[in-house]
Amino acid sequence: MRLVIALCSVDYAGRLSAHLPLATRLLLVKADGSVLVHSDSLSYKPLNWMSPPCTLTVLEPEPEQAALGVIELWKVSAAKTADLLVVSIHEILHDSSHNLGVDPGLQKDGVEAHLQKLLADQIQVLGDGYRLVRREYMTAIGPVDILATDEAGKSVAIEIKRRGDIDGVEQLTRYLELMNRDPLLAPVAGVFAAQEIKPQARTLAQDRGIRCVILDYDELRGLDDPHSRLF
Amino acid sequence: MRLVIALCSVDYAGRLSAHLPLATRLLLVKADGSVLVHSDSLSYKPLNWMSPPCTLTVLEPEPEQAALGVIELWKVSAAKTADLLVVSIHEILHDSSHNLGVDPGLQKDGVEAHLQKLLADQIQVLGDGYRLVRREYMTAIGPVDILATDEAGKSVAIEIKRRGDIDGVEQLTRYLELMNRDPLLAPVAGVFAAQEIKPQARTLAQDRGIRCVILDYDELRGLDDPHSRLF
DNA sequence: TGATACATGTCGATG
DNA sequence: CATCGACGTGTATCA
């Protein structure tokens, strides 16, 4: 990643035309060749940018441009479209490069992970007397989202999905089959919990004796506020 | 603007919860206090961010966090909501601040404005003998995108949208009603032009005697390519 | 201030 | 691959 603070003007032509007058801005060149132009305010979105795949070529300015003070010309071309970003640099105030390596995943914890934590914390929404055994209960074929016990102390395996599809029911069925072979656990009941359950999935689940539960995300978050979740 | 390259993990809690595992990333602190976390790929959008208004507080790590290698803790709180961004910094590889001044702002034209210009320049795509009267023809209730005349010299009011929705038809209907009360203009025909027209909008338009025209953006741009527009 | 349309939207799931 | 819908949507205009 290359960081350049420069006095520059920027032109973009693609689906629209845009021009940025001369000012000091941050030019961010990423490892994949993409370029972002940021000002010192208005977060989130760059003033101008070029998405990968694209190529950055640094050109010598034409004499007439040089006469206007341009010392370097960046031409960023999109690989697949005719989109073109041109940065006319008048002065470079900072220039540094950094090796960041590959990001382990821009994986934001999705709703599913959050639902799992919320349900684990409030397992009683499944019924009085329900108690959490543990999250991510490991089996030979992978972790079950939540293992709990019901009011009679019987084991309950819970599969959580954001959208309850047939795949999820199949997955839970495999876990149940395996766990019910373990005399220390059996009999194990199944709960398929999701924000939304497709009719086909519901039918299949009920046919296999699996209970379906709709999770209300907002309600589960309820009392819980962001600060208490982080600290 | 402060640029920090740091080995860090990031947690966000607000409308959703998100966690970024330990990795080297760019932390961008803008003059308005907003913070952006960028990785070295996937442009445009930060991995995590906090929009202004917000406040950044740098904390000493708790002993247990320090034991895990955290040397600095950034807490970014949104001013109006409970949203919270926490950056746990393990190592700072680069840290520099730059005074960029106020950005003069972006000048750009969106697709709709561009479509309007293109259609005005090529009004004949509506039919032989069509002639442009003017763009942004002012009426008492606002400007009509394009006023033209057809091959018989009759007035035609044209409403341009990127996506043709019912609202657009209603808007054009109001213009037509008003303009048809003007004896110098009446009768005025209506054309609803868009890249895409929703079935409901098309039905309503046809019911009101308004002609629907699909605009082919690429075709209108035709010879005109981005390179020729920049150089 | 609230409602609405536009965005170089981006991004993921679905068919 | 096109289409559809959500997004921590952001952003501007307009009533």
Give the model confidence (pLDDT) of B30-40 as tens digits.
Answer: 988 889 999 88
Mean pLDDT of A136-148: 81
Q: Name the residues contacting strand D (CB < 7 Å).
A: A 42-45, 108; B 12, 14-16, 18, 48-51, 78, 83, 85, 142
A180 in reach of chain B (CB within 8 A): no
Q: What is the pLDDT of residue B130?
A: 94
Mean pLDDT of A17-37: 88
Nearest to B110 by CA among A12, A34, A74, A45: A12
Lowest mean pLDDT among A29-43, A216-230, B66-80, B206-220: A216-230
pLDDT of B217 strictly over 50: yes
What is the nearest CA distance from A168 to chain B, expressed in angstroms? Answer: 23
Alpha-carbon distance of B168 to B173, in angstroms, equals 9
B positions 111-170 inside 8 Å of A (CB)? 111, 114
Which CATH number is A111-230's, of 3.40.50.2300, 1.25.10.10, 3.40.50.300, 3.40.1350.10?
3.40.1350.10
Owner of token pair 């091959």: B151
Model pLDDT for residues B145-177, shown as the tens digit of each residue: 889 999 999 999 998 888 777 778 888 888 888
Q: What is the pLDDT of residue B22?
A: 85
The whole-chain average pLDDT of chain B stands at: 84
pLDDT of A146 strictly over 60: yes
Model pLDDT for residues A120-136, shown as the tens digit of each residue: 888 988 999 999 999 87
pLDDT of A231 strictly over 70: no
Q: How confident is the model at residue A116 (pLDDT cuts 50, 70, 90)?
A: confident
What is the nearest CA distance from A12 to chain B, expressed in angstroms? Answer: 8
B positions 208-227 inside 8 Å of A (CB)? 225-227
Chain D positions within 7 A of any protein Cβ atom are 8-11, 15
**Residue B26 is encoded by which pair of tokens?**
């760019």
Q: CA of A87: which chain B residue's CA is closest?
A: B230
Residues of A in contact with B19 (CB under 8 A): 108-109
Which one has a higher pLDDT value, B222 or A177? A177
Q: Which of residues 132-171 of B touch strand C (CB under 7 A)?
A: 161-163, 165, 167-168
**Residue A190 is encoded by which pair of tokens?**
């199944």
Residues of A in contact with B12 (CB under 8 A): 108
**Ramachandran class of A206: left when φ > 0, alpha when ψ lies in -120 to 50, beta otherwise:** alpha
Give phi and psi for A155, each to the nearest 5. Answer: -70, 140
Q: What is the pLDDT of residue A131?
A: 95
Chain C positions within 7 A of any protein Cβ atom are 4-11, 13-14
Q: What is the pLDDT of residue B165?
A: 76
What is the nearest CA distance from A184 to chain B, expressed in angstroms? Answer: 36
Mean pLDDT of B18-44: 87
A7 in reach of chain B (CB within 8 A): no
Alpha-carbon distance of A106 to B12, in angstroms, equals 13
A34 and B43 within 8 Å at the Cβ level: the answer is: yes
pLDDT of B230 strictly over 60: no
- The percentage of residues in chain B with a pLDDT greater than 70, rounded to a whole number, is 91
A51 vs B44, B110, B229: nearest CB = B44
Q: Which amino acid is at A196?
A: E
Alpha-carbon distance of B226 to B231, in angstroms, equals 9
Mean pLDDT of A148-163: 90
Q: CA of B40: which chain A residue's CA is closest?
A: A30
Q: What is the pLDDT of residue B106?
A: 60
Residues in contact with B62: Cβ distance below 8 Å, sequence separation at least 6, in sequence order: none
The total of other beta-carbon atoms located within 10 Å of residue B147's CB is 22
B94 in reach of chain A (CB within 8 A): yes
Residues in contact with A128: Cβ distance below 8 Å, sequence separation at least 6, in sequence order: A151
Dmax (CA) for chain A in angstroms is: 86
Cis preceding linkage at A187, omega within 30: yes
pLDDT of B211 strictly over 90: yes
B67 in reach of chain A (CB within 8 A): no
Model pLDDT for residues B120-144, shown as the tens digit of each residue: 888 988 999 999 998 878 777 667 8
A189 bridge partner residues? A156
Model pLDDT for residues A69-102, shown as the tens digit of each residue: 999 999 999 888 888 999 999 999 999 999 987 7
Q: CA of B16: which chain A residue's CA is closest?
A: A111
Alpha-carbon distance of A36 to A183, in angstroms, equals 59
- The percentage of residues in chain B with a pLDDT greater than 90, rounded to a whole number, is 34
CATH fold of A2-97, please? Answer: Protein Yojf; Chain: A; (2.70.180)
**Ramachandran class of B69: left when φ > 0, alpha when ψ lies in -120 to 50, beta otherwise:** left
Q: What is the pLDDT of residue A108?
A: 45
Q: How confident is the model at residue A18 (pLDDT cuts 50, 70, 90)?
A: confident
Instruction: Give the orientation angle of helix A199-207 with respect to helix A166-179, to 10 degrees.
Output: 20
Domain boundaries, chain A: 2-97, 111-230
Nearest to B30 by CA among B50, B15, B16, B12: B50
Q: How confident is the model at residue B92 (pLDDT cuts 50, 70, 90)?
A: very high
Mean pLDDT of B84-104: 90
Query: Closest residue by Cα to the C1' atom of nucleotide D14?
Result: B142
Burial bucket for residue A179 (CB in 10 Å: 0-12, 13-18, 19+) = buried
Write the CA distances from B47 to A177, B9, B15, integer angstroms. Answer: 40, 11, 15
Which CATH number is B111-221's, of 3.90.1150.10, 3.30.70.20, 3.40.1350.10, 3.40.640.10?
3.40.1350.10
Q: CA of A32: which chain B residue's CA is closest?
A: B41
pLDDT of B41 strictly over 90: no
Q: How confident is the model at residue B223 (pLDDT cuts 50, 70, 90)?
A: very low
User: Sign of torsion, CA B16 A42 B44 B194?
Assistant: positive
- The percentage of residues in chain A with a pLDDT greater than 70, rounded to a whole number, is 88
Q: What is the pLDDT of residue A82?
A: 83
